[in-house]
Structure 1
Amino acid sequence: MNKTINIETDVPSEVVNMVFDNNYSPVQAWREYLKLSQVEVANKIGISQSAYSQYEKSQKLRKVTRIKITEALQIKLEQLDF
């Protein structure tokens, strides 16, 4: 029996697997899961691709930055916290 994922509130297993298996940050895992490029997300936030790349590598993002990223990815802030 397949469990239905509610993308509004849940974190898909593919995202979790990318974090643990590939050592991705949750931000990078979500971006790749959503099939977006760094340039696309950076443009939505209004920063350069290289600046966005640093966000993906960061272990500690400011809350305002996390909010901007979640808005660009169209996910909830809680979905980054796992």
Structure 2
Amino acid sequence: MNIPTEHQVIRHNGQPVAVVVPYAEYVRTFGGQAAPEPTVPHDVVGRVVGDGIPPCRAWREHLGLTQAEVASRMGITQSAYAQMETPDARLRPATRRRIAAALGVAVEQLDL
């Protein structure tokens, strides 16, 4: 039996990652205002979810920056920054804040 639904669940590897809601519900929820900031571009989300790369790398590539440029902004070496972009890197909150600042994004935008 097919039952119409108002919400669409988007899954990746069987896990829910996002929900699409009707526009009218969105307006009711947020009072007709723009989406709450900060937002993440579709390209960045696609790279993280679809390609499995870390958010800091997806953002860096989206912004057209090299690892050396981000590392320079952070005051570290390119090789040190490269280690932060590995999929298994466990970044401390302070490090995440430094990366976000170097990329010019809010730290919440790295939470994908």
Q: TM-score, normalised by structure 2?
A: 0.64
Q: Size of the alignment, in residue pairs? A: 76
Matches within 5 A, 1:1-82: 9-57=38-86, 58-82=88-112
Question: Aligned-residue CA RMSD in angstroms?
Answer: 1.4
1 or 2 for the larger relative contact order (CA 8 Å, sep ≥6)?
A: 1
Q: Could you list the runs of 4 or more consecutive aligned residues of structure 1 that deviate by over 3 angstroms after TM superposition?
A: none
Q: CA deviation at 1:59?
A: 3.5
Could you tell me which runs of 5 or more consecutive residues in structure 2 were left unpaired when the two chains were aligned: 1-34
Q: CA deviation at 1:55?
A: 0.3
Q: Which has the higher strand share?
A: 2
Q: Which has the higher helix share?
A: 1
